[in-house]
Chain A
Amino acid sequence: MTAAQALAVVLWLAVSCYALLGGADFGAGFWDLSAGRSARGDRMRARIEHSIGPVWEANHVWLIFALVVLWTGFPSAFASIASTMYVPLTAVAVGVILRGSAFAFRKAVQEPASRRALGWVFAAASVLTPFFLGAVAGGIASGRVPPGVASGSVVGSWANPTSWLGGTMAVGTCAWLAAVYLTADATRAGEDDLAEAFRARALATGVALGALALSGIAVLHADAPVLFGGLTGRGLACIAVSAAAGLASLGLLWRRRYVLARPPAALAVVAVVWGWGVAQYPRLLVGGPSLEAAAAPGPTLHAMLWASLAGALVVVPSLAWLFVLFGRQGPGAPP
């Protein structure tokens, strides 16, 4: 494996972690938005706040880390993506700041009216942010970010069928992951009625997401032939794993095995992320240079890899302590 490939793996690990952990936090905001004004809705919101409060900031760092790896390890790709996609990325940036601030503010104030208003901002931003991130992913995957600075269409790159699919899938995936995680969180807290409510939501979103993915096949076939070819070729195994894991997770949810439903749910999401990567390999941008040609010079790649290794030695045990302490024992951990 070359250094460029190794750093691409680090990048994709970061993207996967962000999808699983940051994604679930966004999804929690989705359910916060739709919890309604009833007493049970308030208890749902309290459960959500309790679940993501201690961890969301750590989960958010995966996004920053992925950005940093991209611009240091593959600078030209970062420049192309950020300059062509500046509209949705500005929306993401605004979403990130509104989501995080509103969540922190809501925790700090008591008045119900202020809390409701802040909660609404938190929840709306939690839906918009993953949508635009998914739209960016869809634009990249469908070859709408050509190499070079701002060489793609600043509107068409993200306002297109694959981006709509990517955005909707991202919101749906976040909501689904959050509902799956929250069933177990609610059960552990003894709130069985909430667990039932989250179970119903997880089942519904899971089915909707499956239907969306199936119809997405037609969208990709028509709109993103290169990606379609990759996903049905080299990436097919990943897609098959994702489908199987998604079904397994739904089955376990149906049988109320909430903790057991987590690992396959996470696997289903990670498999899609890696399927995309495998389908597009060896190019970060469709029609762009190969991974090796786009990568930073050797000394930078080596410094990044060593730093990632050293960083992992510090961050992984710390994250483990955080998750163990606050109950969400990671998407793949046993109860």
Chain B
Amino acid sequence: MLGATAARLATNRAFASAQMGFSLGWHVVLASFGVGFPLLVLYAEWRGQRSRDPVYAELARRWSKVLGVLFAVGAVSGTILSFELGILWPGLMGRFGSVFGFPFSLEGFAFFVEAIFLGIYLYGWDRVSPRAHLASGVPIALAGLASAWFVVTANSWMNDPTGFRLVHGKVTDVSPWAGMLNPATPTETVHMLAAAYMVTGFGVASVYAVAQLRGRTGRYHATGMRLGLAMGAVLAPLQGVVGDLSARYVASHQPVKLAAMEAVFHTSRGVPESLGGIAYGGRLHLAVRIPDGLSLLTHFDPNSAVTGLDAAPAGTRPPVNPVHLSFDAMVLVGFFLLLVAGWSAWAWWRRRSLPGTRPYLFALVAAGPLAVAALEAGWVATEVGRQPWIVYRVMRVSEAVSPAPGLWVGLPVLLVVYAALTAVLLVVLRRLAATEAPGAQAAAPGSGREADLREAGP
């Protein structure tokens, strides 16, 4: 009987982790566009109003339709996560809901603001003055930023739990503010927000780079590509700095996670920086090593000591391969995006225009999906790197998971639903991209701008 319960708990743990990881990983892509895209749409609308340039106005109109779809799907896929917190992890929520639940309620209000003003923005084009319309979009962008910040503080709390004391196993001295403003919050929230803007920016640039490669080289597509790229390229170097700060934070507060990220098995001095490779048998094989690299990066001293996985008792170490490889993948993509940003900035500085060459456009096409991959890899590194803890060094995942029978069914159900959802979403986005620009006929005949707009069509 006891054995059966333990087996069920192990099954529940595996399936619940997979379900949470999958639905979170799906949602975070949509959520990133929910944070970043309003800013691009607003910028296009503002430029359109200021310059009376129909290309910008058209971009704003069409992008707002895409925003409507992405935001709706992001909102509902986020709602599922709220349910899952209780369905899958009642042990976590029942015990610590009062400590780290508070930022979710602030997020709730931010989300109200987003949803309300999105309704006004999407449906209000002809109901309010152009200025009021533009203004109604500002709260969407601000509240999107705020809601993402609040949600990520809840995750950073799980990495660095503060705002309570455990006395004989009981949670006391609760301070929701201290829980929200835990030491992991500054780097983790900024890292994620920058990632959201980069995913949006490079994602948009990627779509228009594909169009350019297919011969749609008019101003409409060039402008769309430039706006997206500008957002991604501005954030890329900043993200390098924030990412470095994040790693330094992890090194000092979650050294075992850093050990998994860098595949350091034994605490020692003069630790090399290992790139790639496969870990088995307590060693990393086939990695490229830079001597003393990690010691130098972490403490600015090639002979400094770096904590290894052996610092944590057996049974409290995260799995190395998924954490190390996804961390390396994220960093690699980060450098690639930095390169793309630098290439673009160089060309813009020299010629006030972006390169139209195929290698450049192919690099941009790759940048969008790669930015999404880096986002996912980063989450894998931070979430798997925290294992086996759900609340770092306080509560294990196995203590939080629901013991309910049949819980595993949720994963296959969601996989089927999300597979259908993803397929239809992609079809709808393609249709939206393929619809002829409605303003094409409105432009004055014979003007160059009319030609620009007509190219927006198939």
Contacts and interface: CB of A to CB of B under 8 A. Distances in A.
Is chain B a partner of chain A in the same complex? yes
Interface in B80-105: 80, 82-87, 90-91, 93-99, 101-102, 104-105
A76 B98 CA distance: 9
B164 to A, nearest CB: 9
B82 A67 contact: yes
Contacts of B402: 83, 86, 149-150
Contacts of B113: 314-315, 318
Given A64-B111, A300-B176, A79 B72 contact: no
A65 B75 CA distance: 13
A237 to B, nearest CB: 31
B101 A68 contact: yes
B401 to A, nearest CB: 10
Contact of A71 (B97, B115, B403, B425): B97
B290 interface: no
B65 interface: yes
B116 interface: yes
B108 A300 contact: no
A189 to B, nearest CB: 14
Nearest to B421: A101
Nearest to A56: B119
A314 B99 CA distance: 25
A170 interface: no
A78 interface: yes
Contacts, number: 234
Contact of B75 (A60, A80, A98): A60
B138 to A, nearest CB: 12
A82 B81 CA distance: 12
A200 interface: no
Interface stretch (A252-260, A266-274, A320-328): A320-328
Contact of A149 (B91, B107, B417, B421): B91
Given A296-B174, A325-B124, A307 B105 contact: yes
B116 A315 contact: yes
Contacts of B389: none
Interface string B404-437: 1111001001100100010011001001100100
B120 A105 contact: no
Contacts of B297: none
Given A81-B86, A90-B83, A321-B120, A109 B428 contact: yes
A107 B316 CA distance: 49
A149 B16 CA distance: 15
Given A104-B72, A154-B405, A67 B83 contact: yes
Contacts of B128: 325
B95 A75 contact: yes
A89 to B, nearest CB: 5
A190 interface: no
A71 B86 contact: yes
B353 interface: no
B108 A64 contact: yes
Contacts of A57: 71-72, 75, 115, 118-119
B413 A90 contact: yes
A126 interface: no
A68 B90 contact: no
A76 B432 contact: no
B72 A101 contact: yes
B77 A97 contact: yes
A58 interface: yes
B79 A307 contact: no
B122 interface: yes
A109 B431 contact: yes
B424 A101 contact: yes
A104 to B, nearest CB: 3
17 contacts: A53-B123, A64-B78, A64-B82, A75-B93, A80-B94, A101-B424, A109-B428, A110-B431, A110-B435, A118-B424, A300-B101, A303-B102, A304-B102, A310-B109, A322-B119, A325-B120, A326-B119
Given A68-B105, A75-B94, 5 more contacts: A90-B413, A103-B72, A150-B403, A154-B406, A321-B116
Interface of A: 53-55, 57-58, 60-61, 63-65, 67-69, 71-73, 75-76, 78-84, 86-87, 89-90, 92-94, 96-101, 103-105, 107-110, 118, 149-150, 154, 296-297, 299-300, 303-304, 307-308, 310-311, 314-315, 318-319, 321-322, 325-326
A-B CB proximity, top 7 nearest: A82-B86, A72-B101, A75-B97, A79-B94, A296-B98, A104-B72, A311-B109
